[in-house]
Amino acid sequence: MVSDLVVEGLTVKFNDYKALDNISFRLDSPFFTVVMGPNGAGKTTLLKSILGLVKPSLGMIRVYGLDPFREANKIRQIVSYVPQVVNINIHVPITVREVIAMGIYSKSIPPRIMNKEIEEEVEEVLRLVELERYSRKWFTELSGGERQRVLIARAMVKGAKLLLLDEPFSMLDFDIKCEIAKLLDRIHYRMNIDILLVAHELSPCIAYNPQVILLNKKVYAVGRAGEVLRLEILKRAYPGITEIPQGFIIGEDHA
């Protein structure tokens, strides 16, 4: 059986720096998978490699049978990316619906006009992320959690089969992180969209029993949280881990 996302022997170098070192894993749809690892583990590099934005030094990737580097246009029709750093100028007045429409405009040629069809697509995805009353609000007026929902909506409006998210819980309060995790789980099941996200912490997702890839330049484990988040495995991926009577501290923002 052919897996839907295949990463095999992937090595990525930037000059003399090795960001990823011979990593391999396979994911079969439907999947909700969290890539977890310390800073500098190569998590963002992995997502960009899957998108075809970073070319591997060695190895191969197949996304639903497609080569991201030779079939980039096809990949970008079915894979959407929510980056950690968003290139939206907060000093330029732009509404929520205009931000989401960017996801449609990215697949079309100029002139890009907000017609009735696009408006309906935007409103539909706003309902899915539970922001239907926010359509004409300024993006800058939103809270961090609301902005993240809008950016997820912008990625989804393209009709993607796979959603890649880079640190979607970053800079959010814990309760908001849990709301975003709940939203992603709902999208996964209702829309039949595969999800691969990068996170420093698994806590917001733990209730949904996601598959976990433990990464620190190498893949140290792939499996459910209960299988992967064991001290003997975590010690290999997180060299700075500290044991305490109550458990252990990984050394960043979670324990």
Counting Cα atoms < 13 Å in the Cβ hemisphere of 243 gives 6
Q: Which positions ≥6 away from 213 have C-beta within 8 Å?
A: 25, 33, 34, 35, 36, 219, 221, 222
Find the distance separating the first CA and the last CA of the chain, reported in whole Å.
38
- Specify the pLDDT at position 34: 95
Give the pLDDT confidence of 67-77 residue by residue, as tens digits.
998 898 899 88
pTM of structure: 0.87
Give the pLDDT confidence of 184-237 residue by residue, as tens digits.
999 998 889 999 999 887 888 888 888 999 999 999 999 998 888 888 888 888
Give the pLDDT confidence of 16-58 residue by residue, as tens digits.
899 999 999 999 999 999 999 888 899 999 999 999 999 999 9
Q: Which domains does the chain possess?
A: 5-249 (3.40.50.300)
- Specify the pLDDT at position 228: 86
Give the pLDDT confidence of 92-115 residue by residue, as tens digits.
788 999 989 888 776 665 656 677
- Specify the pLDDT at position 255: 41
